[in-house]
Structure 1
Amino acid sequence: MPIRFLTLTLAAMASLFSIAAAQAPVPLAVGQEWSIHGEGLEDVRVVIGHIEEVEGLGPVVHISVSGIPPEYTPGGMIGHLPYQASALPAFLDTQTGTGEVAPEFENGLAHWRNAGGGAFDISLEELITVLLPASYPTDPPK
């Protein structure tokens, strides 16, 4: 009886591991375009522009964000955002294909490097709906 129990237990565990492996997230890569989680943010797209190891931060994924509703930021775009590689996948929804970063991406990346900047680990939804509007003292220009 104990051998049968052990066999069934091992079979169940193997089944769970194979399900987890089948649902493992796609590894992040330069050029990928993703949708994000968030009500009212269905048109927002993230494009991965650069991935690097940064001393003191670990892996950082640099992204461009487009399709942001106008009530959150003028122009509907953020040219460059650095994200902790360990945090970003939780905020991405579906890989929608490949894309190009915003024209401002390289300038933003250079500025970030010169400033010795950090990397975000909060949700993209929170960054877009809370932090961006808070960065404007009044309504953003239209």
Structure 2
Amino acid sequence: GFWPSGEPKGPQHLLLVALRLWKRKLKNFMTWSIGGLSALPSATISLSCAMMAGCTPQNHPATKIFLGSCSSVRLGDQWHWDEVRSKGPDAWVWLGDTVYGDAQNFAGMSLLGGSWKQASPQFLRKLYAIQKKQP
């Protein structure tokens, strides 16, 4: 599988997975650059497909790569995924928060926005399971 140790654990984990895929596919690896961003054809498509329901890895270079971040499963209806799919990306790269796992600690609020507490692993697994059903 794509995940080195079970379920995805966040952006750093996805980067580790991308690097491992890149090492495996080095012989067939092609890169191109847009604004300094390298596109990983088959590795990126495979990585994106691991996160998207109904996606099948392709064996052609990715030329249309979409970037995104700051997703929250708590927003309810995630209509934006239909819009993303309608544009026909070859790959989706999540650059920031895939779920917001921390929770505001209202008891310790300050004028600058309050304090935050870390989410438990069980809570994060629940959020990732919800998000994984969306795309």
* Pairwise TM-score range, normalised by the shorter structure: under 0.3
Larger radius of gyration: 1
Bigger helix fraction = 2
Structure with more strand by fraction:
1
TM-score (norm 1): 0.20
